[in-house]
Amino acid sequence: MQRRYRSFFWPLVLIVVGLIALLVQLNVISTDRLYRLADLWPLILIVIGLELITRRALKGVAVDVATVLILLIAGGGALAYVALGPAIPGGTRVLDASGQVGTLTSATAAVDVGAATINVQGDTSLGNDLYRAHIEYTGPTPKVTLDKSTGELHISQEGVFFFGNRHFVLDLQINTAVTWSISVDSGASTDTFKLSDVKVRSIELNSGASREDITLGPPKGIVPISIDGGALTVRIHRPAGTQVAAQVNGGAVNLTGDGHRVGGIGAAKWQSDGYDNATDAYRIEVDGGASTVTVDTNAPSG
């Protein structure tokens, strides 16, 4: 009979999960309700206990009938709890955070999230604040931590489910008096970096699919910019006269540098005329399955 229990239990779990996913895609269930599923884990223990009691109290076909009824009632109740119960209070929520510069002269901003919209901008008026973060989100509360000894700012949100569209928008202002390293790990994102007044040490972006718009200021030393993902659209703006080298690797690549287009399958390279002799420049490397990369001089020379 243990064999029959296993044959009923997991198929019904898959059916319930599939139904919830379908209702989410059809907008019948709001994604704000998905996180209510985490409340139901004790139901699994209850169902298993009831099924064990049924197998000892009943015999023959009655065991199968009772088991199916228990699983159907539990599955239907779980579906109703998610679909009809209240959403997370407040729906989209807001988190604001900030931290002090102290004695820091350099810092790292590390963002680790799923699907997101991320805006990072240098701000000359932050005073004693190292950063100010404004986050609009659904789902688990994001974590914002700052290690004051190393200057590492870490912003993250834990994942829960593979279906549904989570809302996560980060607006991050960073102090321009500090040299910054920036890294982002995301599932899919639309990112805007306005860094024309920021001293950048490095930028590293990793995403399944993303659209990146990066505005840079004058570099100090050779500054690496690394972007890795599946499908990428990247636009990088720098001040006129700034030297740069760009390499794009992957499947179908399309690289345009200052109006000069290089395309093909596998790899494309381009660099500005004075890059080989430059001591201050940007070194850009993009790796993706399909990538469209544009490098221009539309950034302010400030």
Three-class DSSP labels, 104-167: CCEEEEEEECCCEEEEEEEECCCCCEEEEEEEEECCCCCEEEEECCCCEEEEECCCCCCCCCCC
Joined together, the tokens standing for residue 94 give: 């807001």
The closest of 177, 57, 196, 203 to 106, measured between CA atoms, is: 177
* 3-state SS, residue 275: helix
Burial of 129 from C-beta contacts in 10 A (0-12 / 13-18 / 19+) = middle
pLDDT attached to residue 4: 47
pLDDT band at 7 (very low <50, low <70, confident <90, very high): low
Mean pLDDT, the chain, rounded, equals 86
Q: Domain limits of the chain?
A: 2-84, 93-296
pLDDT tens sequence across 46-83:
877 887 787 788 887 887 788 778 878 887 787 777 76
Contact criterion met (CB below 8 Å) for 142 and 159 = no
Please give the Cα distance from 40 to 85 (Å, whole number): 13
The closest of 136, 182, 139 to 158, measured between CA atoms, is: 139
pLDDT tens sequence across 135-190:
999 878 999 999 999 999 999 998 644 444 468 999 999 999 999 999 999 988 89
CA distances from 24 to 14, 29, 35, 101 (A): 15, 5, 12, 43
Joined together, the tokens standing for residue 110 give: 């590390």
